[in-house]
Amino acid sequence: AQSVAQPEDQVNVAEGNPLTVKCTYSVSGNPYLFWYVQYPNRGLQFLLKYITGDNLVKGSYGFEAEFNKSQTSFHLKKPSALVSDSALYFCAVRDEDYGQNFVFGPGTRLSVLP
Partner 1 sequence: DVKVTQSSRYLVKRTGEKVFLECVQDMDHENMFWYRQDPGLGLRLIYFSYDVKMKEKGDIPEGYSVSREKKERFSLILESASTNQTSMYLCASSKRSSGNEQFFGPGTRLTVL
Tell me which residues touch partner 1 (CB under 8 A): 9, 32, 34, 36, 41-46, 49, 51-52, 90, 94, 96, 100-102, 104-107
Between 33 and 112, name the residue whose CB sits nearer to partner 1: 33
Shortest separation between residue 81's beta carbon and partner 1, angstroms: 23
Shortest separation between residue 16's beta carbon and partner 1, angstroms: 29
Are the C-beta atoms of 19 and 108 separated by less than 8 Å? no
The DSSP annotation for 15-29 comes to: TTS-EEE--EEE-SS
Between 44 and 82, name the residue whose CB sits nearer to partner 1: 44
Sign of the alpha-carbon torsion through 89, 78, 35, 7? negative
What is d(CA 70, CA 81) in angstroms, rounded to the nearest whole number? Answer: 28
Between 15 and 103, name the residue whose CB sits nearer to partner 1: 103
What is d(CA 78, CA 86) in angstroms, rounded to the nearest whole number? Answer: 12
Shortest separation between residue 15's beta carbon and partner 1, angstroms: 26
